[in-house]
């Protein structure tokens, strides 16, 4: 929820009455959201182990740069204005979980390895391959995203 500036808040950021107020450095807008309470769930451990595994792959610097360039173009599109991605890690996670959803019999993110990606030629091997497979939306000039993971 976007908050409008009120005389009482001024430039306030922080927690107050169960709400969190913060200003986005990128947009300059003040946002407010409800403070959440962590509830333990079985899926938390599965999600955590999958995240640890995909980030233990340690993508190359060129791959990260491709993800950053993709991110900039993605956020410029009007259709994604209200669903922005903030960092390259958001694009990377979105790509990997989309791959697991598209290929459930082949890909298990909890056990994925660089060797498996290369042997099976999985679409996450390059951003171009992932876009051509349909894991991420196509953008103009996506053919240049060829850096390997």
Residues facing 148 on adjacent strands: 126
| Judgement on whether residues 11 and 55 belong to the same structural domain of the protein | no
* 60 shares its domain with 113: yes
Residue-level pLDDT, tens digit, the chain, 149 residues? 554 555 445 566 777 778 888 887 777 777 888 888 888 888 888 888 888 988 888 888 999 999 999 888 888 888 877 788 888 898 899 899 898 888 888 888 888 888 888 888 888 888 888 888 888 888 888 888 878 88
- Contact partners, residue 26, CB within 8 Å, separation at least 6: 86
In a domain, 149, yes or no: no
CA dihedral 47, 120, 135, 130 (to 10 degrees): 120
Question: Could you list the residue range(s) of the whole structural domain that residue 17 is in?
Answer: 1-37
Query: How many domains does the chain fold into?
Result: 2
Same domain, 108 and 124: yes
Q: Is the dihedral of CA 31, 36, 38, 43 positive or negative?
A: negative
Percentage of the chain with pLDDT > 70? 92
Residues 55 and 92 placed together within one structural domain of the fold: yes
Asked whether residue 46 falls in the same domain as residue 100, the answer is yes
pLDDT of residue 61: 92
Q: What is the pLDDT of residue 136?
A: 87
Tell me if 21 is assigned to some domain: yes
In this structure, is residue 99 part of a structural domain? yes
pLDDT of residue 6: 52
Are 131 and 64 part of one and the same domain? yes
Query: How far is residue 112's CA from residue 65's CA, in Å, rounded to a whole number?
Result: 22
- The pTM for the full model equals 0.74
Same domain, 64 and 104: yes
DSSP result, 11-77 = T--EEETTEEEEE-TTT--EEEEEPP-----HHHHHHHHHHHHHHTT---HHHHHHHHHHHHHHHHS
Tens of pLDDT along 62-88? Answer: 999 999 998 888 888 888 777 888 888
**Are 86 and 129 in the same domain?**
yes
**C-alpha distances out from residue 77 to 51, 70, 71, 83, 127, Å:** 27, 11, 10, 10, 18
Specify whether 29 is located in the same domain as 56: no
């Amino acid at each position: 929820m976007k908050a409008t500036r009120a005389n009482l808040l001024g430039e306030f950021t922080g927690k107050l009455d169960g709400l969190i107020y913060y200003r986005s450095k990128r947009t300059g807008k003040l946002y407010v959201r409800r403070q959440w309470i962590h509830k333990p769930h079985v899926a938390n451990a599965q999600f955590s182990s999958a995240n640890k595994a995909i980030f233990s792959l340690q993508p190359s610097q060129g791959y990260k740069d491709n993800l950053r360039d993709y991110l900039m173009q993605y956020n410029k599109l009007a259709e994604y204005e209200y669903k922005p991605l903030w960092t390259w890690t958001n694009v990377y996670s979105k790509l990997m979980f989309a791959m697991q959803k598209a290929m459930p019999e082949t890909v298990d993110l909890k056990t994925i390895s660089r060797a498996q990606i290369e042997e099976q030629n999985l679409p996450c091997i390059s951003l171009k391959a992932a876009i051509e497979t349909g894991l991420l939306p196509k953008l103009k000039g996506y053919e240049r995203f060829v850096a390997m993971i």
